[in-house]
Amino acid sequence: MTLRFGLIGLGMMGRHHARVAREVEGVELVAVADAMGDPHGVAGNLPLYDSVEKLIEHGVDAVVVAVPTQFHQDVGLKLAAAGVHALIEKPVAHSLEAGELLVDAFEKNELVGAVGHIERFNPALISLRKRLANGDLGEVFQIHTRRQGPFPARIADVGVMKDLGSHDVDLTAWLAHSQFVQVAAQTAFRSGREHEDMVSISAKLENGIITDHVVNWLTPFKERLTLVTGERGSFIADTLTADLTFYENGTHTSEWDAVTSFRGVSEGTVTRFQIEKREPLKAEHEAFRDRILGEPTEIVNLREGLQVLRVCEAALESSRTGTTIAMEPSA
């Protein structure tokens, strides 16, 4: 069975979705849409429409939604009403109310609704999650992430917390198999725009792991790192290169008692793992395809995307109020 895919939103992310949709087996990209036209020449010989309604009328089984966040609710609800599955770019919606409407609409109509938290498909993080679950690190103490870079060329209608920080919120809870229960954050507005362009978060997960996250659009180099520290050492995942490195605690003891007491742990073996590096976006599309076909693949569903948005909103509220926000533990 070949699924008929559509794409709405032909900006910077949309062009990558178009390329990948053309590469995935069992999928045919049959039409695209964008009210602003086709700046990157994505359409090729495909029909180019200016609305989601016309895309639906063309006849599609599923649609990738890469429009600005403020339009996710409108586009998503129309797709759900038409019985069309959707892969919606992160964040799931611009507000919690909009996210809840999307969750309800897709679940009510028994449709596949996925959110584009692509880091779950990064080979380095997939390998890291398996190793943590296998107990390679022993007890996990802390998860630290850094997601920094220059201000993006694309126009953002949300701040850096929801645009970039949502990745770290999702991947952290996913790696730890635990949800956020306390969130404290500071934000900054340094580029003269309406939304925050820098955020620093300190948080705690339900299972006791402490986390911190540094996210901004103000750094003149691009960095995407996840550092997990536990009783046996630390893993560092670089999701730009899909590299995973393990820094093991050393077993050598020092005769200098004062130094041993001060350092706590010693440096041990460093191991860089060889990982098969598949493109995360293609893996995400394949998981979306397979879930539509009834296979139990690991997509990020809309309800999970809504939980990520709750944490993002809690971080922004913490910054506004100067308080630590307590969140309800997961069911």
Q: pLDDT (tens digit, 9 = 90+) per residue, 125-135?
A: 999 999 999 99
Per residue in 164-214, pLDDT tens? 999 999 999 999 999 999 999 999 999 888 899 999 999 999 999 999 999
Cβ(99)–Cβ(306) under 8 Å? yes
Starting at the edge strand found earlier in the chain, the sheet holding 140-148 runs: 267-272, 243-249, 233-238, 223-230, 140-148, 210-216, 198-205, 180-188, 325-326
Domains in the chain: ranges and CATH: 3-118+282-299 (3.40.50.720), 120-276+309-326 (3.30.360.10)
- pLDDT single digits (tens) 10-57: 999 999 999 999 999 999 999 999 999 999 999 999 999 999 999 999
- pLDDT, tens only, 44-92: 999 999 999 999 999 999 999 999 999 999 999 999 999 999 999 999 9
Count Cβ atoms within 10 A of the Cβ of residue 135 and give its class: 0-12 exposed, 13-18 middle, 19 or more buried: exposed
Per residue, what are the HEC states of 14-52?
A: HHHHHHHHHHCCCEEEEEEECCCCCCCCCCCCCCEECCH
- CA-based R_g, the chain, Å: 21
pLDDT score of 257 more than 60:
no
Does residue 33 or residue 250 have the better pLDDT? 33
- 304 with 310: CB under 8 angstroms? no
Q: What was the pLDDT predicted at 253?
A: 54
**Across residues 156-161, what is the average pLDDT?**
88
Contact 250, 223 (CB under 8 A): no
pLDDT tens digits along 282-326: 999 999 999 999 999 999 999 999 999 999 999 999 999 999 999
pLDDT band at 329 (very low <50, low <70, confident <90, very high): low
What are 226's strand-pairing partners? 145, 237
